[in-house]
Copies of this chain bind each other. A is one copy, B any other.
Amino acid sequence: MQELSWATPSVRQSLAALKQSPPFVYGLTNYIAANLSANLLLAVGAGPAIGSAMDWPQRFATGANAMWLNTAALMSSGPEALWTAADSADKAGTPWVLDPVAMGAGAPQYDAAVHKLLDFHPTVIRGNASELIALAGGSGGGKGVETTASSDDALAFIKDLAQRTGAIVAVSGPVDYITNGTQVYAVKGGDIRLTQVTGAGCSLGALIAALLANTDDALLATAAAHALYSVAAERASAAIGTASFATAFVDQLSLLDPAE
């Protein structure tokens, strides 16, 4: 296991590549997380488009440089929009991130619709421990969108999930783990208040997608996104409450300079 942080040159190079060639990143997400996700992508220099308007899922999934799907998008469309987007991205070779929000929290129809997305070969799967354990077939025991398991609990499950799906799998927690099934990166730091800002997880999926656009090394891009989150959260830690923390966090992401 290798630790990765903002001090790692390859992390800064990931961000530099994004800024040099700003990707168009398409996303399907829910209306709670969408605003933060879009603002976070704009803050680092990417160009987002979000939503399942008419023929967007097929067209934008095909035309975008990368895509992320937060499955709670199902709260404003049927599963067909997600499947169409995933299938289109898969066929077009658009790298894409699956965020299986609330998987295993007690809604079996929803869970089945999420599970079917694995058929379309996500490049990366990210989530909290309960969600990923459930997606891997374990008993995740999530409560709504909150996790009741730790990222350490999830480590064996995500390695297995990566091996079976061919995707990079990343779990968020006090320590984040990112794996391709054999190699594992660990990212420490951050701020507990990231768990008190709605959409912070979904937005991490969006940031991963943005970093996937300019590289073939999906493992590194995914780990780099976690490291950017960690350093921005630490630099925002002087904020007095949860809402000003969210503002400071996006501010700090917007100020990250690969050359600093």
The CB with the most chain B CB atoms within 10 A, among A32, A35, A110, A143, is that of A32
B26:A144 contact, CB within 8 angstroms: yes
List of B residues within 8 angstroms of A179 by Cβ: none
- The smallest C-beta distance from A196 to any residue of chain B, in angstroms, reads 4
List of B residues within 8 angstroms of A110 by Cβ: 53-56, 59
List of B residues within 8 angstroms of A77 by Cβ: 75-76
- The smallest C-beta distance from A100 to any residue of chain B, in angstroms, reads 12
Does A21 count as interface, using CB distance less than 8 angstroms?
Answer: no
B243:A247 contact, CB within 8 angstroms: yes
- The smallest C-beta distance from A97 to any residue of chain B, in angstroms, reads 17
Does A198 count as interface, using CB distance less than 8 angstroms?
Answer: yes
Name the contact of A251 in the complex, choosing from B33, B42, B243, B255 (C-beta under 8 A): B243
Copies in the complex: 3
Does A163 count as interface, using CB distance less than 8 angstroms?
Answer: no
A246:B246 contact, CB within 8 angstroms: no
B242:A43 contact, CB within 8 angstroms: yes
Name the contact of A42 in the complex, choosing from B30, B198, B254 (C-beta under 8 A): B198
List of B residues within 8 angstroms of A247 by Cβ: 243-244, 247
Residues of A at under 8 Å CB distance from B?
A: 24-26, 30-36, 38-39, 42-43, 47-56, 59-60, 63-64, 71-72, 74-77, 79, 102, 105-110, 113, 143-146, 195-199, 239-244, 246-255
List 19 A-B pairs, Cβ < 8 Å.
Answer: A24-B143, A25-B144, A32-B38, A35-B35, A35-B199, A42-B195, A42-B196, A43-B242, A53-B74, A59-B108, A60-B105, A60-B144, A75-B77, A76-B76, A196-B254, A241-B255, A242-B250, A244-B247, A244-B248
